[in-house]
């Protein structure tokens, strides 16, 4: 019995340590553009963590790491819209479960529950997370002034593409 | 032996579980270095330059007016509009750090060119940098005819300003700037007068809302009195910044009318006490040339 227990404990400890994945160079992009204005931005320094044993999944990105095509748009994004000095990052904490990412998404200090289709492929020491979903900007308390309301899509399309390595 | 093994396994297992508990802590352990953005709304505070430059590939057009004084037949001159001084500026962001531009002012018909370079950028994170330092130089050429009846060399018409703009964004509302500057005029009234004078600009902006801010600036100068009896005053200005998309409107009141640094900094004859108070504005518009 003791032998069995010790082997069992060992197995857990070994498997657990080999089933965690991480990257700090994940890609996270969004598109909130309209026919009037091209509003897209990409960050290549998103952090993603995943534990295959229990499905725990976390993704985080610094708002100032988003690169826009236009410098002024980037400044407005940080200063007037997401207020990066007060809310420096966007975070998802939750689970990957049966083809879905389920958890809490925090942007601009506001947390919303999300449950969206996702793909996560484990392959020889890597785990590739791919999620494409839409978020309603207003739900995160981000104010869009009337003058530019028709230039910004109220539904931002968000693409997460993170190739994690086992740790 | 078995017991030892069990204990060992248990320890390993616990450590691993502990690690799992901390999985989300890993999110915060990454890169957190951030360059401070938008210390000021515009590349100019009022008359003084800020540490900001347009981003790479951005063309900026600035039009600035300084109206006539309040005590100079104010209504007859349509609130000073009829005798406004005008300056136009066109500048370009060669890189995110380097900015070059040209300008033309109606005051003494001065044409100018300038260069601005962001030497150090304020940053927060693991290796914080407390201030931004931008280097700024202007070259100014007076096109106005001399009325002193003396034959002047071409070089007489040049003046220069060099400065280090030290800026800090204290929080999202308050930003300040301290700019030690040198002004050089090739031509001064007499041989007893200094060609080069030292100046320090102090300025601040306070954001009221995301798109509106109060601004103020003043410049200390090393030489006020020149041998010809001329006396130059401390330039001061207060204003408001209003931002709408690609425009920044800067409305202000100041005791200066010239818009080229050597002239408003080192050769300002007006003072508030004898009615030298002028309304003015700067409007900038940016165009993204290269995405």
pLDDT digits (tens, 9 = 90+) for A87-96: 999 999 999 9
Query: Which of B5, B18, B22, B27 is the best residue to mutate to test the A interface, defined by the most A CB atoms within 10 Å of its own CB?
Result: B27
The answer to whether residues B14 and B94 belong to one domain is no
* A37-55 residue pLDDT tens: 899 999 999 999 999 999 9
In this predicted model, what pLDDT tens digit does every residue of B34-70 receive, in sequence order? 999 999 999 999 999 999 999 999 999 999 999 988 8
Q: Looking at the structure, do residues B140 and B21 belong to the same domain, yes or no? A: no
Q: Does an H or E element contain B282, and which?
A: strand B278-288
**B111 and B216 belong to one structural domain:** yes
Q: Please tell me the least confidently modeled range out of B64-73, B215-224, B262-271, B278-287.
A: B64-73
Residues B20 and B128 in one domain: no
**Does residue B96 belong to the interface with chain A, where contact is any CB pair within 8 Å?**
yes
* A139 in reach of chain B (CB within 8 A): no
Task: Encode pLDDT of B214-256 as tens digits.
Answer: 999 999 999 888 888 889 999 999 999 999 877 899 999 999 9
Give the pLDDT confidence score for residue A6 in this predicted structure: 57
Interface test with B, best of A28, A85, A129, A150 (most B CBs within 10 A): A85
Residue A45: per-residue pLDDT? 93
Query: What's the pLDDT at B10?
Result: 56
Contact with chain A for residue B17, Cβ under 8 A: yes
The whole model's pTM is what? 0.85
A14, pLDDT greater than 80: no
Share of chain B above pLDDT 90, in %: 71
What pLDDT band is residue A3 in, cutting at 50, 70 and 90? low
User: B3 with B141, same domain?
Assistant: no
Q: What is the mean pLDDT of residues A134-153?
A: 90
Q: What is the pLDDT of residue B20?
A: 46
* A116: enclosing H helix or E strand: strand A110-123
DSSP state, A87? S
Q: Which residues contact A32 (CB under 8 A, 6 or more apart)?
A: A39, A40, A137, A152, A153, A155, A156, A157
Mean pLDDT of B4-33: 66
Chain A residues inside the 8 Å CB shell of B54: 71-72
The answer on pLDDT for A9 being more than 70 is no
Q: Which residues pair with A120 in a beta bridge?
A: A129
State residue A29's pLDDT score: 97
Q: Among A117-121, A124-128, B186-190, B287-291, which stretch is predicted with the lowest mean pLDDT?
A: B287-291
- So what's the pLDDT on residue B211? 87
Domain shared by B111 and B11, yes or no: no
Q: A16 falls in which pLDDT band (50, 70, 90)?
A: very low
Complex ipTM: 0.79
Domains of chain A: 20-166 (2.40.128.110)
List of residues 6+ apart from A89 with CB closer than 8 A: A60, A61, A62, A63
Least confident of A68-77, A87-96, B13-22, B70-79: B13-22
Number of domains in chain B: 2
Residue-range definition of the domain harbouring residue B21 = 1-30
Most confident range, picked from A75-79, B18-22, B281-285: B281-285
Quickly state the pLDDT bin for A11 (edges 50, 70, 90): low
Alpha-carbon distance A42 to nearest alpha carbon in chain B (angstroms): 14
Query: Within this chain, do residues B26 and B38 fall inside the same structural domain, yes or no?
Result: no
Position B31 scores a pLDDT of 73
Of A19, A68, A39, A53, which Cα lies nearest the Cα of A137? Answer: A39
The whole-number average pLDDT for the span B124-146 is 96
Q: Which of A12, A22, A145 sits opposite B26 (nearest CB)?
A: A22
CA distance B11 to B218: 67
pLDDT at B51: 97
Together in a domain, B21 and B159: no
Mean pLDDT (chain B, rounded)? 91
For residue B12, pLDDT beyond 80: no
- State the CATH number of the domain containing residue B235: 2.40.160.40
Task: Using an 8 Å CB-CB cutoff, list chain B residues near A18.
Answer: none
* pLDDT at residue B19 greater than cutoff 80: no
Contact B58/A at CB under 8 A:
yes
Chain B within 8 Å of A69 (Cβ-Cβ)?
yes
Residue A51 sits at the chain B interface (C-beta within 8 Å): yes
Q: Is A72 touching B (CB cutoff 8 A)?
A: yes
- DSSP 3-state assignment of B281? strand
* CB atoms B10 and A69 under 8 Å: no
Q: Are residues B85 and B20 in the same domain?
A: no
Same domain as B9, residue B95: no
Flag whether residue B32 sits within 8 Å of chain A, measured between CB atoms: yes
B246 in contact with A, Cβ within 8 Å: yes
Q: Which of B27, B57, B211 lies nearest to residue A80, judging by beta carbons?
A: B211
Interface touch A72/B288, C-beta < 8 Å: yes
Question: What average pLDDT does the segment A129-143 reach?
Answer: 94
CB contact (8 A) between residue A54 and residue B58: no
What Rg, from alpha-carbon coordinates, does chain B have?
Answer: 26
Mean pLDDT of B85-101: 97
User: Are B11 and B124 within one domain?
Assistant: no
Strand-pairing partners, residue B288, are B58
* Same-domain check for residues B119 and B182: yes
């Amino acid at each position: 019995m003791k032998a069995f227990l010790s082997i069992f404990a060992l197995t857990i400890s070994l498997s657990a340590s080999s089933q965690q994945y991480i990257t700090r160079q994940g890609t996270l992009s969004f598109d909130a553009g309209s026919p009037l204005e091209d509003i897209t931005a990409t960050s290549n320094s998103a952090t993603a963590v995943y534990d295959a044993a229990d499905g725990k999944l976390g993704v985080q990105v610094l708002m100032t790491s988003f690169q826009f095509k236009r410098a002024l748009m980037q400044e407005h994004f940080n200063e007037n819209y997401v207020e990066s000095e007060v809310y420096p990052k966007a975070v998802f904490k939750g689970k990957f479960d049966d083809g879905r990412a389920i958890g809490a998404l925090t942007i601009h200090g506001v947390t919303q529950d999300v449950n969206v289709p996702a793909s996560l492929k484990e392959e020889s020491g890597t785990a590739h997370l791919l999620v494409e979903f839409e978020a309603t900007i207003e739900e995160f308390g981000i104010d869009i002034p009337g003058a530019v309301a028709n230039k910004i899509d109220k539904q931002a399309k968000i693409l997460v593409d993170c190739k994690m390595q086992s740790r | 032996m078995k017991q030892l093994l069990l204990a060992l396994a248990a320890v390993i297992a616990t450590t691993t579980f502990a690690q799992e508990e901390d999985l989300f802590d890993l999110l915060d352990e990454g890169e957190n270095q951030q360059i401070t953005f938008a210390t000021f709304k515009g590349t100019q505070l009022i008359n003084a330059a800020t540490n900001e430059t347009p981003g790479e590939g951005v063309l900026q057009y600035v039009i600035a007016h300084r109206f006539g004084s309040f005590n100079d037949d104010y209504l007859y001159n349509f609130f000073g509009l009829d005798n406004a001084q005008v300056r136009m500026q066109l500048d370009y962001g060669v890189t995110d750090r380097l900015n070059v531009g040209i300008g033309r002012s109606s005051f003494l018909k001065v044409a100018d060119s300038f260069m601005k370079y962001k030497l150090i950028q304020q940053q927060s994170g693991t290796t914080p940098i407390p201030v931004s330092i931008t280097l700024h130089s202007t070259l100014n050429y007076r096109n106005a005819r001399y009325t002193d009846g003396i034959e002047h060399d071409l070089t007489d018409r040049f003046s220069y300003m060099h400065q280090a703009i030290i800026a800090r964004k204290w929080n999202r509302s308050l930003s300040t700037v301290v700019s030690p500057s040198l002004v050089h005029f090739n031509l001064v009234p007499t041989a007893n007068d200094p060609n080069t004078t030292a100046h320090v600009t102090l300025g601040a902006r306070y954001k009221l809302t995301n798109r509106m801010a109060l601004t103020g600036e003043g410049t200390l100068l090393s030489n006020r009195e020149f041998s010809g009896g001329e006396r130059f005053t401390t330039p001061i200005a207060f204003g408001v910044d209003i931002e709408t998309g690609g425009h920044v409107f800067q409305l202000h009141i100041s005791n200066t009318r010239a818009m080229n640094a050597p002239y408003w900094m080192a050769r300002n004859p007006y003072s508030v006490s004898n009615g030298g108070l002028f309304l003015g504005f700067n409007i900038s518009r940016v165009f993204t040339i290269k995405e």
